[in-house]
Amino acid sequence: MSLNASLLTAVQALSADTGALQATNSNIANANTPGYTRKVAILQEAAPTNENNLSVGNGVVLEGYQSVRDELVQTQIQQETQAQSGANAQLSSLQQIQPTFTTSTQDIGTEMSALFSSISTLSTNPSSSSSRQAVLVAGQNLATAFNTASNTLTSQQAGLNTQVTQDVSQINQLTKQIAALNPQIAAMQAAGQDGGTLKDQQDQLVLSLSKLTNVSVTQSNDGVTLSTGNGTALVVGSKSFALQTATDSSGMTTVIDPNGIDITKSISGGDLGGTIQTRDTTIPGLLTQLNSLANQFASAFNNVQTSGTDQNGAAGIDFFKASGTATTISAGNITMNMTDPTQIAASTDGTSGGSGNLVNFSNVQTIAPAGGQTPGNAYASLVYQVGSLTSNANAESTATTSSLNQLNDQLSSVSGVSIDEESANLITYQQAYEAAARVVSTIQELFTVTMSMGTAAAA
Amino acid sequence: MRVTNMLPDIQYQMQQSQQALASATQQVSTGLRVNQLSDDPAASANMVVSLASSANVDQYTSNVNSVLPRMQTADSAMSSIVTSLNSAVTLGTSGASSAILTANKQSISAEVQSVLASVISQANTSYNGVYVFGGSESTTPPFVAASTTYNSSQGSVATPLTTTTALTAGSLTTIGDATTGETMTFKAASGDTVATLQQAIASAVVAGTLSAGTSATINAQGQLSIGTNDASSGIVVTSNDIVLGTMAADPNTAVANAYAYVGNSSVNTVQVGDSLHVATNLPGSQLLTAGANVIGSLTSLINALQSGTDTQIGTATNAVSSALTYVGQQRVPLDSTISQLNSQDSYLSQEKITLTTQQDSLVGISLADAATNLSQAQLNNGAVLAAAAKVMPQTLLDYLK
């Protein structure tokens, strides 16, 4: 082997070590960059040459860089992120709903008890105008508690409409960015390059998308293809397909796919899925129970009221009514029908001091309607359901967070940057570089010796 | 497993331990294990039921405290009536003697009149504005001096009431009869007229509720006039019908020593337990005019002392004596109610304690447990932070320097 060949081998080694140092440098620089995948320099032994039937190695060449990925774990992280974001969205809404159904003052249960207490107090002196007034006030307080609970739920629903719009807008931005990266990554891969940095960016964008909704991710020659849970394409190659929002007849914001089809019901997972689940299933379920309780309670009270006679001897009129033009009493519209305390139909015998009907009012508390629950038990069921839904969402959020941590650890064990490891690599490549440089220096000396052969200096 | 960056795990663990610490701190500061529904949904739901029971117990206790003094007032009044009747029996017994001069009998009669006035005063006892012996008509005195004629304020010569004048549906007209000791209550139905009321009065006369001769007519002034032929007794009439207006006694027809009951026989009840209701009043008719007619017997004794024979005085005295026994019997259920209320008050106090204990066990936490939890959370948090402080700064670079 000639000195020139040896020098070339040493220079290749210097180049390879510099490249490896560059990879280490990049890894160290991005040690805390979210979504960064560590790079490794691909060093390969150069093809040997044969001289005089001797095979001589030609040193090392830097083949390129490779990002260390685990696509399976990456996919699992995306799926778990969808579940976590969905649970968090539900938890966030329920935590705002929960205080309305607390067991402290001014909730429905407390106001219900206060109304029954005021009626019981009236029974001790049915002619007392102050006791009669207290019943009216307690009735209005209960109606207000129903109104407040209903308003909290419907306001939450309205707020979630805004969230749906925002989520769809973010989804469209992300799919646009993801689609834009597809051809760049494909071009690099076609050129035999890793495309790691762009792939990292794309993975991060897909992860952000997973926080918003459930997406199906498939790889093709054109890059990633993304579609929603029902198969609606979001990204194909360099094209992205924007989702739209619309408002349905009940005032709810719906999600419309590029073909104009309402896909709201098929969306699950992610913040959007959790938001829609809360808005379209959880809250309506609670509202139905709440309205049923308000309606049954009002009907029971009205039945008792109209079966008795008031302080003036007249037949009782309804205790509660629906406000405005509504004909069916619900939690949102329940209000007092009476304003005059003498209209409370306490009596059954027509006397102003009779209290025979008050026991019937009290019985509303303990007698369950056919096939139903007592008002107190119905409210307790509602409280249990709100608590249980919140608790379950919290548990799911905690579980998915824990699971996500494990998956991230798993991904990090493959793709993450270890400062210790990179420090060791740094020393390794530095030493290799120094050794190669020493080889160059040695060859230079050999050249000098060779060039001075036969000269005085050589002698 | 290749470990690269421990920071995310450390951050998660620190967050978890700090959440536990915050939760433990809240438990100590509030004394509650359940601070929001999601902490324990089942306990929260049971708490709703328990709080409703608690509110009921509070109300039952309030009702007991409201009704008990009223019942005690009623009992005290009945005790006074018993004393008055004893006095009347003594006076009657002395008056029945042939040795007593007529002038002295008149004097004794005056004393019995005072006794009657005292009995009426006790019968009209009220507590906080509620007449305890008026039935459900508890806002006006139940026993009123009787007259033979009552006239309506509505109706005049120019616009007289007639038999076809429609009455107000749901209105009540009450006629108390001093002789029979009973009360007729007429509740006007839709379509009823003055004629309907007249028929009802006639029927009550036939039934014996009202004295013979009691009737309703339209007088010369165009008013409805309800009267009785019994000049020694009398009636009391009330009405809340705006068509008739106030029924007022004709001042020239007042009957001395005659009182009629214008309350009703309804008994109001109040709930003092989940399945316990007690009466809050006694109908005066049941106490003083029905059965052994207390007022009637005293009136008879007065009349006998004024103009009767010794035998008649003795008979009237025996009637008062029977009335005395009757009133004593009527006190029994009242005393029983008072005893029941006292027992219930004690029971409710215990029940309140039971419910409070139940609520504590549902959502509360003992200070010892809360302090232990806090201590444990502090320890855990300290351990996590110490471990983080130990591990986070260490890298290979520290050893290469």
DSSP A227-259: EETT--EEEETTEE---EEEE-TTS-EEEE-TT
* Out of B5, B51, B168, closest to residue A416 by CB: B5
Interface of A with B in 256-285 (CB under 8 A): none
* Contact check, Cβ <8 Å, B270/A355: yes
Amino acid identity at A440: V
pLDDT at position B401 is: 65
Predicted TM-score (pTM) of the model is 0.86
CA-based nearest residue to A282, from A18, A85, A95, A144? A95
Contact A329, A294 (CB under 8 A): yes
Contact residues for A301 (Cβ-Cβ < 8 A; gap 6+): A139, A319, A320, A361, A364
Which parts of A30-110 are beta strand (E)?
39-45, 49-51, 54-56, 60-67
For residue A426, the chain B residue with the least C-alpha distance is B397
CA-nearest of A242, A235, A270, A298 to A85 is A270
Contacts of B268 in chain A (CB under 8 A): 123, 126, 353-356
- For residue B381 the two structure tokens come to 């948090």
Q: What integer pLDDT is reported at residue B8 of this predicted model?
A: 84
Give the per-residue pLDDT at A372: 82
Amino acid at B36: Q
Least Cα distance to B226 among B146, B123, B139 occurs for: B146
C-alpha distances (whole Å) from B180 to each of A183, B35, B211, B326 are 111, 67, 6, 17
For B290-303, the pLDDT digits (tens) are 777 888 899 999 99
Query: Would you place residue B99 in the very low, low, confident or very high pLDDT band (cuts 50, 70, 90)?
Result: confident
Residues 344-403 of A with CB under 8 A from B: 347, 349-356, 359, 362, 365-366, 376-377, 379-381, 383-388, 390-391, 394, 401
CATH code linked to domain B41-133+288-364: 1.20.1330.10
Tokens of A9: 């081998």
Statement: residue B117 has pLDDT above 90: yes
Residues of B in contact with A32 (CB under 8 A): 5
**Per residue in B312-356, pLDDT tens?**
999 999 999 999 999 998 889 899 999 999 999 999 999 999 999
> Which residue in A313, A381, A416 is closest to B171 by CB distance?
A313
The interface pTM score, or ipTM, of the predicted complex is 0.85
Residue B100 and residue B250 in contact, taking contact as beta carbons nearer than 8 Å: no
Q: Over 90: is that where the pLDDT of B231 sits? A: no
Collapsing DSSP to helix, strand or coil, A372 comes out as coil
Longest dimension (CA), chain A: 145
Min CA distance, A391 vs chain B (Å)?
A: 5
Name every chain A residue with its beta carbon within 8 A of the beta carbon of B51.
103, 109-110, 113
Side-chain half-sphere CA neighbours of B298 within 13 A: 30
Higher pLDDT, A349 or B86: B86
Which phi and psi angles does B326 have, rounded to 5°? -60, -45
> Residues with Cβ < 8 Å from A432, sequence gap 6 or more?
A13, A17, A20
Q: Residue ranges of the domains in chain B?
A: 41-133+288-364, 143-262
Residue B233 has pLDDT above 60, yes or no: yes
| Start-end of H helices in B31-183 | 41-95, 102-123
Verify whether the Cβ–Cβ distance B270 to A120 is below 8 Å. yes
B100 to chain A, minimum CA–CA distance in Å? Answer: 48
CB < 8 Å to A35, chain B: none
pLDDT at A456: 63
Average pLDDT for chain B? 91
Tokens (6 digits) for B144: 């009123």
Strand partners, B174: B185, B238
Chain B residue with CA closest to A124: the answer is B270
pLDDT 10s digit of each residue in chain A, 459 long? 688 888 999 999 999 999 999 999 999 999 889 889 999 999 999 888 887 788 888 889 998 888 998 989 999 999 999 999 999 999 999 999 998 887 667 789 999 999 999 999 999 999 899 999 999 999 999 999 999 999 999 999 999 999 999 999 999 999 999 999 999 998 988 887 777 889 999 999 999 999 999 999 998 888 899 998 778 899 999 999 999 999 999 899 999 998 899 999 999 889 999 999 999 999 999 999 999 999 999 999 999 999 999 988 888 999 999 999 999 999 999 999 999 999 999 998 878 788 999 999 999 998 887 668 899 999 999 999 999 999 999 999 999 999 999 999 999 999 999 989 999 999 999 999 999 999 999 999 999 998 888 776 554
In DSSP terms, A61 is beta-bridged to A44
